[in-house]
Structure 1
Amino acid sequence: MTRNNKTILEKANAAITEGNYEEFLSFCTEDTVWTFVGDRVLQGKEAVRQYMATAYVEPPKFMVENLIAEGEYVTAIGQISMKDEEGIMVDYAYCDVWRFRDGKMAELKAFVIETITS
């Protein structure tokens, strides 16, 4: 099951980088909950859809450094770049902890920190 969950997350991430947000959402449960630690909580697929419509006007670019699976959880560690409200590309380090239920992404706890380049 853990291998299957990793594959599901990889397919979902590929959909995001292609800008295919509806395909990404097909991998989520209707009652999915996304917690951006220290920022906000999104409850339900529609809330995630609305978030993506504003935060991902242009598909983000990201590189997964590690995928770690155990039971119903998959943790992704990596780097993501996306444009802010002014259209400026901003780089972040992230750690996403996904909980799966019945082969779909049911919950996300995301730790995202802007990286400073000098």
Structure 2
Amino acid sequence: MSDTNKAVLSKANEAITRGDYEGFLACCTEETRWTFVGDRTLEGKDAVRRYMAEVYTEPPVFTVHCMIAEGDSLAAIGEITLKDADGNPTHHAYCDVWRFRDSKLAELQAYVVETGPAR
């Protein structure tokens, strides 16, 4: 199962980098739940879709350094660059902990720390 989950997340991440947010959402359950620890929680695909429209004004640029899988959980550790409200790139380190159900992304706990301007 861990290899399957890694393949699903890799496919979803590839969609994000192409700006194919619907392709990403196809990898999620309808009731997917995203918790950005210390910030907000999104409930369902429509909430995630709105979040992506707001935050991903351009497709993010990111690198996954490693994935660690156990059972129905998968942690991805990496770096991501996003544009802020003024269009300036900002760099972040992250650890996303995903829970899968039926080979789809069901729940996310995202630990994201801004590390400064993009390099």
TM-score range, shorter chain: over 0.9
TM-score w.r.t. structure 1 length? Answer: 0.98
TM-score w.r.t. structure 2 length? Answer: 0.97
Matched, 1:88 2:88: yes
Q: Which runs of 5+ in 2 are unaligned?
A: none
Alpha-carbon deviation of 1:57? 1.1
Counterpart of 1:105?
A: 105
RMSD: 1.1
Counterpart of 2:52?
A: 52
**Which amino acid is the alignment partner of residue 5 of structure 1?**
N
Q: Which runs of 5+ in 1 are unaligned?
A: none
Alpha-carbon deviation of 1:116? 3.2
Count of residues in Structure 1 that have an aligned counterpart in Structure 2: 118
Q: Verify the 8 A CA contact 2:90 2:116 in the aligned structure 1.
A: no
Counterpart of 2:63?
A: 63
After superposition, what is the alpha-carbon deviation per residue over 1:55-83, rounded to whole angstroms, capped at 9, x for unaligned? 00100000000111111011000000010
**Which amino acid is the alignment partner of residue 2 of structure 2?**
T
